[in-house]
Structure 1
């Protein structure tokens, strides 16, 4: 196979510069111009879902899922910034890890995923 990973995530935004700044300030994703975001190696799912999925709002075609290393610290920082985050213990399992969800300023759903610690 010729594909070695995800090369970029591109989507429309009403305020691209403002949204890019929000992602960088609160999640550390992206940056200025076309400088690539150097992400850590790790698992990435490519998962088309049924058209009627209830995992994210019906009016949205996609949801971003970011792999994180310290979900609690990230959630504390988001709370300090006044960003609403949803958690649900039912989402978390020892096999899959821990999850939290929030929306960016344009209503795009973001899922934060802390993979399980491997023994």
Structure 2
């Protein structure tokens, strides 16, 4: 019997394998994690295995203004991570949605990152 967690893990690995198979070895990965109440994003260098830039709806700048579990928060996180990536000189990334559908908060974050200049 398959459990929900194993299904999610298989979906996450399937998405990640597709990213690797597209010959994006030299591009950093924009990884998204969303919980019920917050959303997190980080740009990861897979070769060096470290996080280059990160942003979340838990940061003081956003947390004072609003709650962190809606599309508005996801849009803010997308803008923030794109601005920080541009400061570091990163423009081309690969979007890793994990096991989430490209819908709602995940789509809002991606749209904001694209609007601020990230290419994926």
With CA pairs under 8 Å and 6+ residues apart, which has the higher RCO, 1 or 2?
2
User: Greater CA radius of gyration, 1 or 2?
Assistant: 1
TM-score, normalization: structure 2?
0.27
Structure number having the greater strand percentage:
2
TM-score, normalization: structure 1?
0.27
Structure number having the greater helix percentage:
2
